[in-house]
Amino acid sequence: MTTRVYGGCVEPGGFDLDDDIEAIKCPECGGEAYERYWEACEAGSINQYHTIRCTECGHEEGDLPDDSDDYDLAHDAELDEIIAKLGY
């Protein structure tokens, strides 16, 4: 999966960044969690991130953004789509 980014980046016009997510076992409760790797363009450079979020106990770890409220909304919408595709 790729995310196209426009504006504020090194390359004008947008380009593809890595954005991969997979279902894993939660390290805390053993329930269904999602591990995500993605790249973000910040301050003119590409940064790589990695997070684990559990859908059952709410456990989170990794590179969590400061604006978690906005992030949660976008992330959940994206997750729903992915879950639907996976057939969960």
Interface contacts to Zn ion, rule CB under 5 A: 26, 28-29, 31, 54, 56-57, 59
The residue (of 1 and 57) whose beta carbon lies closer to Zn ion is 57
For 30-39, letters b (16+ CB in 10 Å) and e give eeebbbbebb
The residue (of 1 and 64) whose beta carbon lies closer to Zn ion is 64
Q: What stretches of 1-88 show up as alpha helix (H) in DSSP?
A: 68-86
Helix, strand or coil for residue 57?
Answer: coil
Query: Least distance to Zn ion from the beta carbon of 35, Å?
Result: 12
Query: Least distance to Zn ion from the beta carbon of 54, Å?
Result: 3
User: What's phi and psi for 69, nearest 5 deg?
Assistant: -65, -55
The residue (of 61 and 78) whose beta carbon lies closer to Zn ion is 61
User: What's phi and psi for 18, nearest 5 deg?
Assistant: -70, 140
Query: Least distance to Zn ion from the beta carbon of 27, Å?
Result: 8
